[in-house]
Amino acid sequence: MIKKALYLSLFLISFLPFEAQSQTISQIFQTTADSVASYFGRRTAWEDSILIEHFYIRKNGPAEVHFNEFISDQPLRKVDIDSIYSVVKANFPSKYKSYVNNIAIYSNSNKIEKLISKAIKADSYSDGRVEVGKSSEPDVSKHARKRDSYPLVTNISKARHPLKGLQGRNIALWQSHGYYYEQTMERWEWQRSRFFTVVEDSFTQSFVLPFLVPMLENAGATVLLPRERDVQRNMLIVDNDSHNHHLYSEKNNHHSWQNAPGKGFSYKDVLLYGENPFEMGTARAVSCTKDIEHLSSAFWYAQVPQAGEYAVYVSYPKLSNAYNKAQYEVVHNGGITRFEVNQQMSPSTWVYLGSFGFNPTKKEQGVHLNNYGSEGKAVGADAVRFGAGMGNVARNPATIDENGEPIKRDYEVEPELSGMPRFYEGSRYYLQFAGMPDSVYSQFKNQNDYKDDFTSRANWVNALIGSSKRLPGREGYNVPLDMALGFHSDAGESYADSTVGTLAIYTEISEKANQYKYKGNRIIARELCDIVQSQVVSDIKASFEPNWSRRELWDREYYESRAPEVPTMLLELLSHQSFSDMRLGNDPSFKFVVSRAVYKGILKYLAYINNEDYVVQPLPVKDFAAELDGNFAKLSWQPRQDTLESSAAPKGYIVYTFERDPNTVGNVLTEPTNGIDGFDNGKYLENNAISIQIEPGKIYSFKITAVNDGGESMESEILSVGISKCEGAPTLLIVNNFSRVAAGASFLTSDSTRAGFMDEVDAGVAYHREIAMVGKMTEFDRSMPWVDDDNPGFGASSFEYEGQIFAGNSFDYPLIHGSAIMKAGYSFCSVSSSALANIDMNKYPVADIICGKQIRTISGSYPQVRFEVFPESLMTALRAYTSQGGNLLISGANIASDSHHFIYEFTPDSAYKVDVLDKEIQFAKDVLKFSYLNYDATSSGLVKSLPNQFDLQKDSYYDFYTTPNKFVYCVEAADGLAPAGKNAASIYSYADSKISAGVAYKGKDYSCVSLGFPIETLKSQKQIDHIISSLLDFLLP
């Protein structure tokens, strides 16, 4: 029997007085709707309107109350369902109470019972926990996928592999949009405005590339991106068809290499619309054998243009009998790393292996492939790429319209390259370079690059899963993706100095279908969004901002979330147009927490739909120390407790090692590194200490990661040791007291009319390298409105830094100082300042304290001060050390001003002044023998020696970086120091201001040198070697 539904409006015409007929459904039920709105309060930050749009009376079945999307936009928990029904029933229109006991409530066409999270264990939203259970329900299990037995890429040299992480999972991930060609303007431009020193197109990359991708990969996932992931501006492609064919070689044995069927890669300097580099050349193939004594092989030599870190990509043709464990080796600065690549997936495109350090002087470096494998199978070989390079897709306005008719123009516009590093460009251009068909990267047939860019990301997802069980019947790259996530920031302002917050977007209905092609219900994307959004908001509230805003859980028709045939989430993390949001958004510590939250949300979602247990990877270790014990490096560290995740405790650790000649330290690299260059594959151990035998005359650098069944943590700082070849040379101690990463200094006037970032005071410190900054902020008037992207009003920023990558905190400065110490004839070891309580400083005649750009830093609303130069523990250790005759060398940009001049909004109360600041000031006078003179003591960064009573360093000049650069972090403001007490004197001054830059003290008890600038920021290793050698001569006569 067909059920008949009557609109209440028709019912009213028949039975209500005339006056009532003018009322709409929404008006009749307004009290009901308002009561539901009151129940939710400000669960989501933005006040959206709530309406009851329809009331259906069913002949058979319950009456239906249909709300607009308001309830659907809320994160719902179990207790909400009964509460909503109770509120609606209690406030039902009086004349229709006869229906109240048999109603069904809908929002956005879904019964509200369907919208609750079945994964999150918390019964009520106020619980706030993001604990996720497992599910074996049929509707959920349709999304489950057996882990790949043969993943696309497996690093078989890795010291430890996860067991309860994301191993065997494939995740599509993109960092919003990028630089694109605007045909109507005949120019390349950003897709968003430049706000608060960044632009969304680059800003989201500073979360995804240094943090989120490594976290997912450390958990075992294969992460695929439609934009370039490497920031290396240089590129080398080696291919049998290219001008670099001499760097490609083959060795034939029982089976010989021959041309593969079909087409292959050939490099072209400039790609025009429709040109596919993977259809311009040939590829090679060879049959497999199990006979390891008679293997055929191919080698691609890595004669890179300059030394540095390079991503390594391989490619191979599509073969009907492709082997799923092709054996690759990458020979790099740190040794050999071996990979297995499943060539049944992702043929004729770039496949990322990893990032490694290469040196053009080392002729043996490169990529090796052999034909070991099952009989009847074959391996393919095509181009290998080292680095990303500059964009090479040239664009101009379309000459043919969408109907194939010529477009008449008064003048001709030549195709133009972006002039940007490839990683800045949008996915539309990378996907063309990566060999995708134009149906993927140009859905609008060359008419509109903006639309092509956002549609290309979704089309790429479907191209990847084509030919797999996720999208059967459609040709593609046979990569069975588990999910996809687009990481965006949003527009939107808040003049109330509150955050705009985090929005999540999914799409339930696509092309009138509520199922993916693999028959799983699309509503599961809501679960993905709810878990990730809940995790992000929860972790931000716990770590930075208790009032962080959670925005809606949107079901909207965005192409990026609608078109993919796998569960897809769009994360709008925050508003790049909101000053309050961006004060946090520019902070690398915030980026770490957010990225870890997204990783945890993805992990929990995939565990839920696959009915599996999960373990969260550990946090980085702390209290790292690398001392010498004879000819052994004695390493120790401590695990870091994760107060937000009980499963994140480490079960073991991996020690990575890099050895080098002290004379090679300081060689200029092409771009700032990410702490990868030169390290080996690591050694696993269960204890938190190890002794490693080393050779005199070399520097050994170490970094530590913590591991558990969920994966591997992010890396520790890098500590170094070295034994001098000079007989009987004493060992000096280096203390790394520079751990700061931070957003730039900012201000907000008391009347809230002016605000902004003050890069000239302190531009902050990036994690390893700065890839998001486009220019300094130029508009501080909060009343200035957005006009267009070239005139965005408040927050507008300039463009002088676009296309450049700047050095941040590389966490390896003991290597720089240690190299100079070894050249001066001494041995050295190094420790983190947090580990001083665990070592005996009195063994060392000199302690070199690296303070860098450490300074009191505030981020978020919690009154937590981080990165102060002299915490109580450090002052205690140095007092005790000098009381026993220990000599000090201390350098840093804020060693005096940190106790006097506050670059963040920090107003200490009287107790803090007495208990903390006054003690620091007295410590500087009593122990370090200086007092605060000036905060911003130089603009040139030029330092000269002064005549002094110690006859120390006559006629010496040094200069350090005061502006962003690719070699080392810069010092915007260096300290002026005044001598304090007897036997202390100024030994350096800043050449421009004549203000004292350094103070020396020589007493009967100990000697000390304090510098108001960081030694490691000097512009050459030669300068660093000279100043350290001279000062050691003073400290150790």
Is 26 a residue whose pLDDT tops 50? yes
| C-alpha separations of 788 from 715, 793, 960 in Å | 42, 8, 39
Task: Find, among 461, 457, 554, the residue nearest to 508 by Cα.
Answer: 554
Residues of the chain with CATH 3.40.630.40: 153-230+393-609
Angle at 570 between CA 566 and CA 574, to 5 degrees: 165
Report the topology of domain 615-718: Immunoglobulin-like (2.60.40)
Is 17 a residue whose pLDDT tops 90? no
- Report pLDDT digits (tens) over 847-887: 999 999 999 999 888 768 999 999 999 999 999 999 999 99
**Exposed, middle or buried: residue 785 (CB in 10 Å: 0-12, 13-18, 19+)?**
exposed
pLDDT value for 667: 57
Give me the architecture of the 236-386 domain, per CATH. Sandwich (2.60)
Report the topology of domain 724-768+808-1037: Rossmann fold (3.40.50)
Task: Find, among 433, 428, 435, 460, the residue nearest to 262 by Cα.
Answer: 435
- Report pLDDT digits (tens) over 368-385: 999 999 999 999 999 999
pLDDT, mean of residues 295-311: 96
Q: Which amino acid is at 675?
A: G
Task: Find, among 257, 311, 314, the residue nearest to 249 by Cα.
Answer: 257
Give φ, ψ of 790 to 5 degrees. -85, -10
Our measurement of the distance from residue 67's CA atom to the centroid of its chain's CA atoms, rounded to an integer in Å, reads: 39
CA–CA separation, 659 and 657 (whole Å): 7
Lowest mean pLDDT of 343-347, 732-736, 949-953, name the range. 949-953
β-strand partners of 703: 656
- Report pLDDT digits (tens) over 686-726: 999 999 999 999 999 999 999 999 999 999 999 999 999 99
Crossing angle (nearest 10°) for helices 813-823 and 1021-1035: 60
- Asked if 970 and 773 touch (Cβ cutoff 8 Å), the reply is no
CA–CA separation, 64 and 55 (whole Å): 6
Our measurement of the distance from residue 583's CA atom to the centroid of its chain's CA atoms, rounded to an integer in Å, reads: 17
CA–CA separation, 552 and 533 (whole Å): 10
- Report pLDDT digits (tens) over 516-575: 999 999 999 999 999 999 999 999 999 999 999 999 999 999 999 999 999 999 999 999
pLDDT, mean of residues 63-73: 96
Is 8 a residue whose pLDDT tops 90? no
Q: Which amino acid is at 290?
A: K
CA–CA separation, 171 and 728 (whole Å): 55
Provide the token pair at 292: 């390891």
Provide the token pair at 735: 């203390």
Q: Average pLDDT, whole number, for the chain? A: 94
Give φ, ψ of 379 to 5 degrees. -115, 145
- Report pLDDT digits (tens) over 205-228: 999 999 999 999 999 999 999 999
Is 19 a residue whose pLDDT tops 70? no
Is 965 a residue whose pLDDT tops 50? yes
- Report pLDDT digits (tens) over 767-780: 999 999 999 999 99
- Asked if 309 and 673 touch (Cβ cutoff 8 Å), the reply is yes
% helix, strand, coil for the chain, step of 5:
25, 30, 50
Confidence of residue 497 (pLDDT cuts 50, 70, 90): low
Residues of the chain with CATH 3.40.50.880: 724-768+808-1037
Q: Is 996 left (phi over 0), alpha (psi -120 to 50) or beta?
A: beta
**Residue recorded with tokens 């003073």:** 1034
Residues of the chain with CATH 2.60.40.10: 615-718
Confidence of residue 482 (pLDDT cuts 50, 70, 90): very high
Is 1023 a residue whose pLDDT tops 50? yes
Confidence of residue 672 (pLDDT cuts 50, 70, 90): low
CA–CA separation, 572 and 504 (whole Å): 6
CA–CA separation, 276 and 273 (whole Å): 9
Helix (H) or strand (E) holding 756: strand 755-757
**Maximum distance among all alpha carbons in the chain?**
108
Is 32 a residue whose pLDDT tops 50? yes
pLDDT value for 671: 61
Q: What is the 3-state secondary structure (H, E, C) of 213-235?
A: HHHHHHCCCEEECCCCCCCCCCC
pLDDT value for 7: 38
Residues of the chain with CATH 2.60.120: 236-386
The gap between the terminal CA atoms of the chain, to the nearest Å, is 103
CA–CA separation, 817 and 204 (whole Å): 34
Task: Find, among 392, 397, 452, the residue nearest to 422 by Cα.
Answer: 392
Lowest mean pLDDT of 39-53, 70-84, 449-463, 679-693, name the range. 39-53
Q: Tell me the CB-side half-sphere exposure of residue 817, using CA atoms within 13 A.
A: 34
**What is the residue-wise DSSP string for 757-779?**
E-TTT---B-BSEE-S----B--
- Asked if 338 and 154 touch (Cβ cutoff 8 Å), the reply is no
Confidence of residue 496 (pLDDT cuts 50, 70, 90): low
Provide the token pair at 762: 């302190």
pLDDT value for 664: 87
CATH pick for 153-230+393-609 out of 3.60.110.10, 3.40.50.10300, 3.40.630.40, 3.40.50.300: 3.40.630.40
Task: Find, among 224, 121, 131, the residue nearest to 483 by Cα.
Answer: 224
pLDDT value for 418: 98
What is the value of pTM for the model shown?
0.96
pLDDT value for 44: 86
- Report pLDDT digits (tens) over 419-473: 999 999 999 999 999 999 999 999 999 999 999 999 999 999 999 999 999 998 8
pLDDT value for 23: 75
Q: Where are the beta strands (DSSP E) in 5-152?
A: 5-7, 52-58, 63-67, 103-107, 110-111
pLDDT value for 736: 98
Task: Find, among 965, 625, 969, the residue nearest to 814 by Cα.
Answer: 625
**Exposed, middle or buried: residue 948 (CB in 10 Å: 0-12, 13-18, 19+)?**
middle
Give φ, ψ of 202 to 5 degrees. -105, -30
Percent of the chain exceeding pLDDT 90 equals: 88
